[in-house]
Amino acid sequence: MSIERKEHVEVVRDADYERRQQVSELAPSTQTVIVSRVIQVIWLLTAIVIALLGLRFVLQLLAANEGNAFANFIFQITSVLVAPFATLFAPATATNGVVVEWSTLVAGVAYLLLGWLLTAVVRILFGGTRSMRRVRTIERSR
């Protein structure tokens, strides 16, 4: 991990005293900041996917009308995300039309783990962000 180190000294003089502050800052480099932003984007995309899958699960659980434009839109978008898990479990259907689609829940957990794994790999390969600021103040009476 590369870090930029910045130091400066501030001196304030008055008739009776002198105050000297030594400020040391360890700031992350540009590369480290970019890596941090990439990790944030991965988590944002993961959260969007999880939210869409959660919405799909709730719509199916409440037996939403698939003819409705909003429900149809959500089902179409998430069908691509659920496709790899679609045949894993048969959906449990009740007599009143309520569907518990277990594959949607499994897909949500899988994408959450994938997001975590991607961020861990990026963090391992490129390092994390760390910054530190240290201030040392010395005051003297004259």
- Going residue by residue through the chain (142 aa), what tens digit of pLDDT does each one get? 455 666 777 777 777 777 777 777 777 777 778 888 999 999 999 999 999 999 999 998 888 888 999 999 999 999 999 999 988 888 787 777 677 889 999 999 999 999 999 999 998 888 754 555 566 666 666 5
Q: CB under 8 Å to 15, separation ≥6 — which residues?
A: 142
The SS3 call for residue 93 is: strand
Instruction: Show the tokens assigned to 95.
Output: 């007599």
Q: What tens digit of pLDDT does each residue of 105-124 get?
A: 999 999 999 999 999 999 88
First to last CA, the chain: 44
pLDDT of the residue at 10: 74
Q: Do 115 and 45 form a contact (C-beta atoms < 8 A)?
A: yes
pLDDT of the residue at 2: 54
pLDDT of the residue at 5: 64
58 vs 9: CA distance, rounded Å = 59
pLDDT of the residue at 66: 86
pLDDT of the residue at 89: 83
Query: What pTM, to 2 d.p., does this model score?
Result: 0.69
pLDDT of the residue at 11: 77
Q: Do 100 and 92 form a contact (C-beta atoms < 8 A)?
A: yes
Run of H or E residues at 40: helix 30-61
